[in-house]
């Protein structure tokens, strides 16, 4: 797929995600050929689609498809997903009520589940990493617009260094996370990328919430949806904190720090 | 080995074989004198064997090939602990500056002296009154009246006379030459760079004591120092652009070297600590891995011909943050070691405090990111 085709695909996906979410988006994407795209061009399809879910704020149960594919099964069903703290959830393919902090996501708590295979875990973590990254970028975009538009003390908020540095920090974390996602190939790389993306999105949530002040605390402003999504997605297939600890244990056992990325 | 066919994999395996056969490990002298002597020894051996010449153009006795070969070389040097990475990497900013700005004949003569370890050079930018605000520098260069060569003045190719002071100039006390920024007129467009011989009359170097005990930098006093016009780098007023142009070099190859070095320190920490604090170890590793991933992407863009710009401030913040986190973690997980014993951790921990200061402070990087990458306008 060349650059122009990729841009066209991104445009189409973005439009579709802006128009629909949840079950409606799931079927719209099916009509667009999501299954074929995932089967034939996973390295294009997954980063692009999941990042755009984050950026647009839409959601769809596509994580199931990524995991099913890694297990050699056809897309369209669901699979039990490990959640932080030893819990299990199912991401349903309909728009049911949910008790999740992000109530839009049709997550159902399960008593238990079958452990995912390593390739499935890695693929799922990369997909979620891209989603978290997109969510982080969405929050940064909202905060950026706000600080440029709003005036206090006779100056735009964007002229205050404390505000600027918070947003700069956010960008640094997001860019770093994106680099780890682009470099993620094996299980450890995918784990690190999910941890970096989770951390970056949490940083974005904290800083963007702060610079948005009171308006960002209202339900009318879009920020809270992204904050909720960040918190919930971070826990799926291992939170940033859990994954960081896991990699620390791995390092301690092996006694050396793997150099995953080579020139 | 023909440079036209030299790729990263061949280069690396050839280099490793060579390094396995030619032991360049440092001796017991860890003083700064010892480090500088070791650096010269390593450079000379690598230059003579050709390794140090790859990635540089033939005009300066290079063997050509992509710049990434220099990153590979520096990584091997760091992984094996052959030279202190900070001073090893100085060539990465000095040589490209000479290649881009010096008269070709000067670059041809001088660059091999640096690459081969026969000389050290330094970079005289900062002044007592001008650190972050580098463009406010006041060391003055004026055309010499009634000069020795031809008539007076810059346009006619006469000498220049430089007076002022530089500070925190790394390796000035060892350096044979200095890339020096001076003021020849007002504003950013009034900054002019020279390539100055450090033994020119009127130059006094006074070493400064550093916090970590390795007194790597010095003050440089310039008192009516006469410099010929053919030692000007670029044209009058090009100095600011020169300073800007060297950032991408510093932030590609040099960073890769430093990251490789930091991985060796994380290995050392894993080896020495008995504290099973997996959160801290994992976080230190994650930060380093992130810096490495970012730096890798930057090298790739460079290799594809991209012009590096303000986005490298992201690399700088990631690296400085990762470096300080690593040494903070070492201090936490090796309790009492750097406080009570004369271990190498002490010096390296202290040196890591400078990571958010040199090469543009962390705050300056965030200012650049806010202004140039986020488009937040002036502050
Ligand atoms: C180990 C080491 C090696 C060095 N080697 C060299 C060398 O070889 N050659 C050379 O020329 N220089 C060298 N330097 C100097 C270095 O480049 C300067 O220290 C650096 O640019 C900062 O300048 P300063 O020390 O004057 O700090 P200042 O600019 O005075 O800054 C002090 C504090 O104020 C903050 N600050 C300043 N301006 C702003 C702003 N606009 N917004 C927010 N915060 C601000 C800074 O971030 C910093 O925290 C070296 C420094 C060190 C520590």
CATH 2.40.110.10 in chain B: give the residue spans: 121-236
When pLDDT is averaged across residues A70-98 and rounded to a whole number, the result is 95
Interface of A to B at Cβ within 8 Å reads 144, 147-148, 156, 158-161, 164-165, 167-169, 171-172, 175-177, 179-180, 182-183, 192, 195-196, 199, 241, 243-249, 251-252, 255-257, 259-261, 263
Q: Are residues A70 and A173 in the same domain?
A: no
Tokens coding A239: 């939170």
Q: ipTM more than 0.90?
A: yes
The rounded distance, in Å, linking the Cα atoms of A68 and A113 is: 14
Q: Respond yes or no: is residue B250 known to be catalytic.
A: yes
CATH superfamily of B121-236: Butyryl-CoA Dehydrogenase, subunit A, domain 2 (2.40.110.10)
CATH 1.10.540.10 in chain B: give the residue spans: 3-115
- Domain B3-115: assigned CATH number: 1.10.540.10
pLDDT score for B246: 87
Task: State chain A's mean pLDDT as an integer.
Answer: 97
Q: Are residues A133 and A167 in the same domain?
A: yes
Is the CB of B297 less than 8 angstroms away from the CB of A179? yes
| Closest residue to B293, CB basis, from A165, A245, A261 | A261
**CATH pick for B241-373 out of 3.40.640.10, 3.40.50.920, 3.40.720.10, 1.20.140.10:** 1.20.140.10
- Ligand 1 atom nearest to B126, measured from its CA: 11
Measured CA angle at A36 (ends A32, A38), to 5 deg:
100
User: Among A57, A75, A110, which residue terminates a domain?
Assistant: A110
Residue A192 lies in a domain: yes
CATH 1.20.140.10 in chain B: give the residue spans: 241-373
Residue A96 lies in a domain: yes
- Write down the catalytic residue from B75, B84, B250, B323: B250
When pLDDT is averaged across residues A213-226 and rounded to a whole number, the result is 97
Q: What does the DSSP assignment read for B63-78?
A: -B--THHHHHHHHHHH
pLDDT score for B150: 47
Cβ(B242) – ligand 1 distance below 6 Å: no
Buried b (16+ CB within 10 A) or exposed e, B283-297: bbbbbbbbbbbbbbb
How many helices and strands (H and E) does chain B possess?
13, 8
How would you write the pLDDT of chain B (379 residues) with one tens digit per residue?
Answer: 444 457 999 999 999 999 999 999 999 998 999 999 999 999 999 999 999 999 999 999 999 999 999 999 999 999 999 999 999 999 999 999 999 999 999 999 999 999 999 999 999 999 999 999 999 999 999 999 865 544 444 455 799 999 999 999 999 999 999 999 999 999 999 999 999 999 999 999 999 999 998 899 999 999 999 999 999 999 999 999 999 998 888 899 999 999 999 999 999 999 999 999 999 999 999 999 999 999 999 999 988 888 899 999 999 999 999 999 999 999 999 999 999 999 999 999 999 999 999 999 999 999 999 999 999 998 8
pLDDT score for A59: 98
- Spatial CA neighbour of A14 closest among A52, A40, A57: A52
- Ligand 1 atom nearest to B354, measured from its CA: 53
Q: What is the DSSP letter of B54?
A: B
pLDDT score for B152: 44
Mutate to test the pocket of ligand 1, among B168, B172, B173, B191 (most ligand atoms within 8 A of CB): B168
pLDDT in tens, B329-359: 999 999 999 999 999 999 999 999 999 999 9
Band of the pLDDT at A169, cuts 50, 70, 90?
very high
Q: Are residues A29 and A89 in the same domain?
A: yes
Cβ(B169) – ligand 1 distance below 6 Å: yes
pLDDT score for A122: 98
Tokens coding B181: 């920024």
- Spatial CA neighbour of B234 closest among B141, B103, B143: B103
Residue A217 lies in a domain: yes
Measured CA angle at B362 (ends B222, B215), to 5 deg:
45
Q: Are residues A130 and A212 in the same domain?
A: yes
**B189 contacts B174 by C-beta, under 8 angstroms:** no
Q: Are residues A51 and A147 in the same domain?
A: no
When pLDDT is averaged across residues A107-124 and rounded to a whole number, the result is 97
Distance of CA B150 to the CA centre of its chain: 37
Instruction: Give the number of domains in chain A.
Output: 2
User: Among A59, A84, A110, which residue terminates a domain?
Assistant: A110
The rounded distance, in Å, linking the Cα atoms of B243 and B194 is: 12
Residue A259 lies in a domain: no
Sign of the dihedral defined by the CA atoms of residues A66, A70, A75, A79, in that order: negative
Mutate to test the pocket of ligand 1, among B191, B358, B367 (most ligand atoms within 8 A of CB): B358
Q: Which domain holds residue A64?
A: 3-110
| Closest residue to B282, CB basis, from A161, A247, A255 | A247
Q: Are residues A133 and A52 in the same domain?
A: no
pLDDT in tens, A193-205: 999 999 999 999 9
Whether the per-residue pLDDT at A78 is higher than 50: the answer is yes
Residues in chain B: 379
Q: Are residues A61 and A145 in the same domain?
A: no
Residue A263 lies in a domain: no
Q: Are residues A75 and A182 in the same domain?
A: no
Residue A71 lies in a domain: yes
pLDDT score for A62: 98
Band of the pLDDT at A1, cuts 50, 70, 90?
confident
Count CA within 13 A, CB hemisphere, residue B278: 14
Which domain CATH number covers A138? 1.20.140.10
State the distance from the centre of ligand 1 to the C-alpha of B123, rounded, in angstroms: 14
State the distance from the centre of ligand 1 to the C-alpha of A159, rounded, in angstroms: 23
The rounded distance, in Å, linking the Cα atoms of B275 and A147 is: 44
Is the CB of B297 less than 8 angstroms away from the CB of A252? no
Question: Number of residue pairs across A and B with CB atoms under 8 Å?
Answer: 143
Tokens coding A128: 């979620």
Q: Are residues A179 and A133 in the same domain?
A: yes
Residue A262 lies in a domain: no
Residue A155 lies in a domain: yes
User: Among A75, A110, A145, which residue terminates a domain?
Assistant: A110
């Amino acid at each position: 797929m060349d650059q122009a085709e990729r841009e066209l695909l991104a445009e189409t996906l973005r439009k579709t995600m802006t128009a629909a979410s949840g079950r409606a988006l799931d079927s719209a994407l099916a009509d667009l050929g999501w299954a074929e795209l995932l089967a034939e061009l996973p390295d294009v399809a997954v980063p692009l689609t999941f990042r755009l879910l984050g950026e647009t704020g839409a959601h769809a149960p596509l994580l199931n498809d990524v995991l099913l594919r890694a297990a050699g099964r056809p897309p369209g069903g669901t699979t039990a997903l490990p959640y932080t703290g030893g819990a299990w959830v199912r991401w349903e393919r309909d728009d049911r009520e949910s008790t999740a902090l992000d109530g839009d996501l049709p997550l159902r708590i399960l008593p238990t589940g079958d452990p995912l295979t390593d390739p499935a875990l890695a693929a799922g973590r990369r997909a979620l990493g891209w989603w978290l990254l997109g969510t982080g970028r969405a929050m940064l975009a909202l905060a950026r617009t706000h600080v440029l538009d709003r005036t206090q003390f006779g100056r735009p908020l964007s002229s205050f260094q404390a505000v600027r540095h918070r947003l700069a920090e956010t960008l640094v974390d997001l860019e770093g996370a994106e680099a780890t996602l682009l470099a993620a190939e094996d299980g450890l790389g995918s784990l690190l990328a999910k941890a970096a993306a989770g951390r970056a999105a949490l940083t974005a949530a904290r800083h963007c919430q702060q610079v948005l002040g009171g308006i960002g605390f209202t339900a009318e402003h879009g920020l809270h949806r992204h904050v909720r999504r960040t918190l919930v997605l971070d826990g799926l297939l291992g939170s940033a904190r859990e994954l960081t600890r896991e990699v620390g244990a791995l390092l301690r056992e092996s006694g050396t720090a793997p150099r995953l990325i080579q020139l | 080995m023909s440079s036209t066919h030299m790729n990263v994999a061949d280069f690396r395996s050839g280099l490793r074989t060579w390094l396995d056969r030619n032991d360049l490990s440092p001796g017991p002298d860890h003083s700064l004198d010892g480090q500088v002597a070791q650096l010269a020894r390593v450079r000379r051996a690598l230059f003579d064997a050709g390794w140090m010449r790859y990635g540089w153009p033939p005009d300066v006795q290079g063997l050509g090939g992509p710049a990434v070969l220099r990153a590979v070389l520096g990584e091997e040097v760091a992984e094996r602990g052959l030279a202190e990475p900070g001073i090893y990497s100085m060539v990465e900013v000095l040589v490209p500056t000479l290649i881009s700005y010096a008269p070709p004949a000067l670059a041809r003569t001088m660059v091999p002296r640096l690459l081969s370890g026969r000389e050290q050079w330094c970079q005289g930018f900062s002044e007592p009154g001008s650190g972050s605000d580098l463009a406010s520098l006041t060391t003055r260069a004026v055309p010499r009246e009634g000069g020795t060569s031809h008539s007076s003045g810059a346009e006619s190719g006469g000498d220049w006379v430089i007076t002022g002071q530089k500070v925190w100039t790394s390796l000035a006390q060892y350096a044979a030459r200095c890339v020096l920024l001076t003021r020849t007129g007002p504003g950013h467009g009034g900054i002019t760079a020279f390539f100055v011989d450090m033994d020119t009359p009127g130059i006094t170097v006074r070493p400064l004591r550093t916090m970590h005990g390795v007194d790597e930098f010095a003050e440089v006093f310039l008192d009516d120092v006469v410099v010929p016009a053919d030692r000007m780098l670029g044209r009058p007023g090009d100095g600011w652009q020169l300073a800007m142009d060297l950032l991408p070099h510093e932030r590609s190859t040099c960073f890769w070297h430093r990251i490789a070095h930091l991985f060796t320190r994380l290995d050392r920490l894993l080896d020495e600590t008995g504290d099973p604090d997996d959160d801290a170890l994992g976080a230190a590793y994650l930060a380093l891995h992130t810096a490495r991933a970012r730096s890798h992407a930057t090298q790739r863009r460079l290799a594809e011909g991209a012009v590096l710009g303000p986005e490298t401030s992201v690399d700088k913040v990631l690296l400085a943050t990762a470096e300080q986190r690593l040494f903070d973690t070492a201090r936490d997980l090796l309790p009492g070691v750097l406080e009570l014993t004369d271990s190498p951790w002490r010096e390296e921990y202290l040196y890591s405090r400078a990571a958010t200061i040199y090469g543009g402070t962390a705050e300056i990087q965030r200012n650049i990111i806010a202004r140039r990458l986020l488009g937040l306008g002036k502050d």
